[in-house]
Structure 1
Amino acid sequence: MAAENPSPAPCSWAGRSTTSPSPALVTSSPGSGPPPFSIEQRYRYYRHSHILETISRKQEQQFIEEGCTHKLRGTIKPDIVLHSDYNLLGAALIIDLKFPCPSSNDPTWRSYGRNSAYDGLTQGQVYQQALDGKAFMLTPRGFF
């Protein structure tokens, strides 16, 4: 009788990478290094020690499929990041897409609550602190 493969441990941690490109990154040619921008790249940001690391889409999806969404607590996921010097952990510009209703309303950054790792800050402030770049909101009416 063949041995059965054991099931993966619940909420396994697939490992982290701060240097390898994530599937969230758009590449122009193979082997050319990271592109100058990423789309919906998830980061884990340790605010008090100012440590930032990437979480791949594969890892993110694994956490969700395993029911381990608590492992995504305290992470950030800006819509578009234009990277400075091709550095995935730094930004020249951070763009978050906002679609206020009605469209005549001005967009606002979401504020983090007291149970958050980012209590007292807005989404834009956290993006700027974590990625060391300027954060803007882009709406159908333009940049804010």
Structure 2
Amino acid sequence: MASASAVLKVVLEETARKSIEEELTKCADLARSEVLLRYPKQFKGPAPDADECKQETKSKGRRVTWAMRLGIEMHEVARACAEERLSKVRPGRFSLDQRYRPDLATGQKELVSAEKEQALEKSGNGGELKGTLKPDVVIHQGDPLNALAVYDFKFPCVNSDSVPEWNQYPDGHPFAGFSQGEMYQKFIAPLVARITPRLGVVHG
């Protein structure tokens, strides 16, 4: 009987995972389409090419590349979409943009509230957030400290059939030598994945 219950739980978890990933994939596709439609005459084609991605533009009063601007805007659309869709399929059991502070010595972690994050940035002490992790989507059972899965949206500027790699932390960073995905898996959740328009979910 216990064995049957265990099997049933796995099936339910697999079903839940697929449902979550389907919704997040739709959000990634929606975000890319919606944002590119905002700029119908900005690029030679329906999407920017490599040179256009490097060109500078203004976003919220500062100079950025089109790659950065489009990525920020796509993340904003994807986040709103994820909040709406996950609220229906997994109410109360997910977090968006939750920041964690891992302790490399003990292997433990703590949550950093959005209020504390904003206060640090407002006071000019945003540097204290270095050494923290902030995935796009965290799936849990009600407690983000006990997460089941982490998903990050990746929006390459140029259309491509290759999956974007996890960001690598540079020399001098507290997480140097690790990738973003490795840190997520080490400190936040056993399942990590990237979600990219057209390509969908890539685990690991």
Shared fold, TM over 0.5: yes
- Please give the per-residue CA displacement for 1:50-91, whole angstroms capped at 9, x wherever unaligned: 1110111110000000000111010010000001x3222122
Aligned-pair CA distance for 1:122? 0.3
* TM-score normalised by structure 2 residue count: 0.52
Instruction: Confirm whether residue 99 of structure 1 aligns to residue 99 of structure 2.
Output: no
Between Structure 1 and Structure 2, the one with more helix by share is 2
TM-score, length-normalised on structure 1?
0.72
Q: Name whichever of 119-128 and 42-51 sits farther off.
A: 42-51
Any gaps of 5 or more consecutive residues in structure 2? 1-82
Candidates 15, 20, 37, aligned match of 2:94? 37
Q: Based on CA coordinates, which of the two structures has the bigger radius of gyration?
A: 2
Tell me the secondary structure at the aligned position of residue 76 of structure 1: coil
Moved over 4 A (4+): none
Q: Percent identity?
A: 36
Larger proportion of strand = 1
Which aligned pairs between 1:83-122 and structure 2 lie closer than 5 A? Answer: 83=140, 85-104=141-160, 105-122=162-179
1:47 Cα offset (Å): 1.9
Distance in 2, Cα, partners of 1:103 & 1:87: 37
Could you list the runs of 5+ residues in structure 1 that have no partner in the other structure? 1-25, 29-33
Length, aligned pairs only: 112
RMSD of aligned Cα (Å): 1.7
Find out whether 1:143 has 2:190 as its counterpart: no
